[in-house]
Amino acid sequence: MKQDAIKLRVIQSLSEIDEADWNSLLTLDAGPFLKYVFLSTLEKTACVGGDTGWQVAHLLAEDSESQLLGAMPLYLKQHSYGEFVFDWAWAQAYEQSNLRYYPKALSAIPFTPVRGARILVTPGADKNAIQKILITGLKTLVRQNELSSVHVLFPENSELEELKKQGFMLRDSVQFHWHNEGYQDFEQFLAALTMKRRKNIRRERAAVANHQISYQHIPGSSATVDDWTFFYRCYANTYIEHRSSPYLSEECIQMLGASMPDNLHLIVATQDGRPIASSLLVVDRMTAKAYGRYWGAIEHIPCLHFELAYYQAIEYCIREGIEIFEGGAQGEHKMARGFLPTTLQSAHWIADSGFSNAVKRFLEREHEGMAAYVDELEQHIPLKSSKVLP
């Protein structure tokens, strides 16, 4: 197919295209967060769009007969909340130079710091050509709409190569992931840790056990409306305690629970038969990964967070044969609970050449600092024998 026969189009809602067409772009290992049902639920429940600062602007590549060839999940952002790659300093410097940083273009999964495809191509199409057209079109969109920049968060490594060819600058981030080394049970996992870490985890679990806490694991397919209501109460309370507002609404949680139950798993902590805390895992059995997304409690019990969000989740992963458990962005404290540092990258393109050069110099210095940071983390690996993962 000739490249001049391919046209680009921006849609303001996934409802403008068929669910089957979008999902046809996804590979078997694409994960749950790129599914039409997940992204469209965020839109339907107004967690993005409207006055949230997340204007939906998905970029599509179509042939002359309007058949979908490729796409990028895309948003125009009026702020930098919910991204987990922090560019507040860039925004401040931009505005101090009498330039407008917002709105900016963002290709990412809202509120979800996980690596995955960002440049989707239909099977059988010329992947390299479609990716190149989408990235070129994305930069054109930025220029034509006088946006400051475009940011592609946590794309696949293969996509990073094409982004770099087209002038994007790469930025390192460190997350902490748990890896299942074929453990038969939690005790075997503990045995793989250094003595210091093993003793620390046992002490924390014992502290929670003293409060007579029990745990209920509820597969998404078995969760009731009341289960999701309680989970949302816990989730929202976490934000309230931090004087913030939750990104997701209860309507969104209820809708996700009903529409993609096989990808969800609830863990509820109870005391004297009364639920007091809950955490949510998003599970992808195709790739044997679990993602710790949210947790919250309505009563404070020391170390309950570690038990519910980490240890119960690890026990679940061992039982279910899940190979990788991503506990979310940041959090060096996760290393003490058996998680290993993992480096991910994002890609950034700045329209203003002068500011782009300044950001490039900043990223070069930051890259050196991040390498030193990872080296330091490697000195505190919790396993008896392991290494930092790429």
| Per-residue pLDDT reduced to its tens digit, 142-195 | 999 999 999 999 999 999 999 999 999 999 999 999 999 999 999 999 999 999
Q: Any residues with CB less than 8 A from the CB of 248 and at least 6 apart, and which?
A: 42, 45, 47, 111, 235, 294
- Which domains, and CATH codes, for the chain? 3-173+344-378 (3.40.630.30), 181-322 (3.40.630.30)
Half-sphere exposure of 82 (CA within 13 A, CB side): 22
The pLDDT of residue 387 is 46
The pLDDT confidence band at residue 330, using thresholds 50, 70 and 90, is confident
Do 269 and 291 touch, CB atoms closer than 8 A?
no
The edge-to-edge listing of strands for the beta sheet with 54-56 is 54-56, 75-77, 104-107, 149-152, 340-350, 169-179, 324-329, 289-297, 274-284, 264-271, 213-219
The pLDDT of residue 4 is 63
The edge-to-edge listing of strands for the beta sheet with 120-121 is 7-11, 58-62, 68-72, 120-121
Give CA–CA dist 311/301, Å, rounded. 15
The pLDDT of residue 3 is 60
Q: Which two tokens stand for residue 158?
A: 């293969």
Q: Which two tokens stand for residue 146?
A: 């006088």
| Per-residue pLDDT reduced to its tens digit, 223-232 | 999 999 999 9
